[in-house]
Structure 1
Amino acid sequence: MASRTARVLLKQLLLLLCLSAAVLLQSGCSSLFFFPDQTTYITPDRLDLAYENIYLDTADGETLHGWWLPAEGQPNGTVYFLHGNAQNISSHLLNVAWLPAEGYNVFTIDYRGYGKSTGAPDIEGALHDSETGLRWLTRQRNTNNTPVFILGQSLGGALGLTLASEWVQRNETPELSGVILDGTFSGFRGIAREKLGSFWLTWPFQIPLSWTIPDEYEGVDQIANISPVPTMIIHSVRDGIIPFHHGQALYEAANKPKEFLQTDTPHAATFIIPAYKNSVLEFLEAKKTRQSKGKAGF
């Protein structure tokens, strides 16, 4: 009787394994990257921030929701914030809520399937959405003649890295003034293989499933293209989600000018530490210093 029960449990386990593999194969590993929800956790007014709801239509028929947070006083520049893979903009707001008081406009969007944005998320769709947001931002009069920066955390950093690389290579205008990558993985395919290999149920499928992700999305192969735009890479030695070696790999692959900020916080918790905020402000304000000295470019 005991042996028969064991055989039944083994068959059920094998069935679960096959079903899990089939789902991942069908989704092309997208389920590893996207964990959206539609809950509103906090809105900017709860933090005494002025804001405007922004709705953008994509070329493929989706509608994206975002928030525009104007700087307090004369703006020093604008930060385009791309958030991580879980929940939506309302749960990531605290990461950038401090910037308007420092004189920086903030624009942030939810990718398709997140928050109030329509559709279902996937890698190519999210990349398209991040570019849609940047194109809207660069057309706003509040950004004219002021620096524009990309700040991406985790998944948002991977999206921002690809966006910045393509923006620079196509000689798009206005030129980006800087790119900040916080807790970002070194490539979609690489992190998928790493995560699949860390769980016994998906370990046998780590290589074939990771091959479903196009290799042009590997950040280590793209980051050098961002130069001469300055790049700041932030990574924590205590990051339990995206291991520290990912940040090191991105920094080594990047061309100058580049900076590396080693931190000591949980994943995506950089800005709870004032000293880390100050390091980022110094990076942002370096653009103003260059402009005041009459230097064009970097």
Structure 2
Amino acid sequence: MPTGLVALLDDVAAIARLAAASVDDIAAASMKASSKAFGVVVDDAAVTPKYVSGLTPARELPIIWRIAKGSLRNKLLFLLPAALLLSAFLPWAITPILMLGGLYLSYEGAEKILGALLGHGHAATDETETSETAEEIENRKVGGAIRTDLILSGEIMAIALSEVADRSIGTQAAALIAVSLLITGGVYGVVGLIVKMDDIGLHLARRSGGVLPAVGRGLVKGMPVVLAVLAKIGTAAMLWVGGGILIHGLEEFHLETIPHAAEAVGDAIAGLMPFAPGLGAWLGFAVASALVGLMVGGVLALLVPPLSRMFGKKA
């Protein structure tokens, strides 16, 4: 099967295989893991900036720091022990858990698209925000970000665990800790830079002479566009990642129809790009993964609201 999004499951093998020997090997494995978990990481980076929107600029970085600490706590205190216990006692459950995560990501991505098309987003009402103090709003947003991070972090940890389940507990722990530190630092470092980029632009715009003021004005004007594009990339990444995980899971259970169809799409695109067949295969499989994620997630997005109302009324 072609590489690409499947690297989220296949190429993350490098995490523990390289992590077994030394600290240098662990660092190399973690770097590879973060690059291969591109879809989940991009979605995390795309989602997080909304949690500081509308708040005082002076509180932006402290809030990001609080979310980053919560993310690391999720990974090291909850997900890491759970992953090690799972590997020790229920290794067969790793693939089904990954597929549940794939369903969730597909649902989230499709739900965002349906929300945009049908015009019912998730914006908070003014009444909710005006009835809360600034501290309460901040705590609510931080709590929401940490809960969202728990799902995405769980998916990353499960992906890593699926490739180190046959190694010793020490190797598994070292690899998962390294991945946790690297991805958390990378994601929230980038998020912090994103949310402060407009402030950097304002600072540069106030400089006199040279090209810096023009650069600053460009940053101020361009950041809303960057954030909008990042949000769209995050939605696409959810479908891409979710669909790829589902395809790989079906392959693990020897249900080959959809995996073979996705591979055929990759081969077809590769045939149209004789100058770069590897890139064509990757692109084709990525598109097929996103389509699978969109179809499965779309069905879930249509079913979840009525089911929620039904069970809510019964409760």
TM-score by length of structure 1 reads 0.29
| Greater strand share, structure number | 1
User: Greater relative contact order: 1 or 2 (C-alpha under 8 angstroms, separation 6 or more)?
Assistant: 2
| Greater helix share, structure number | 2
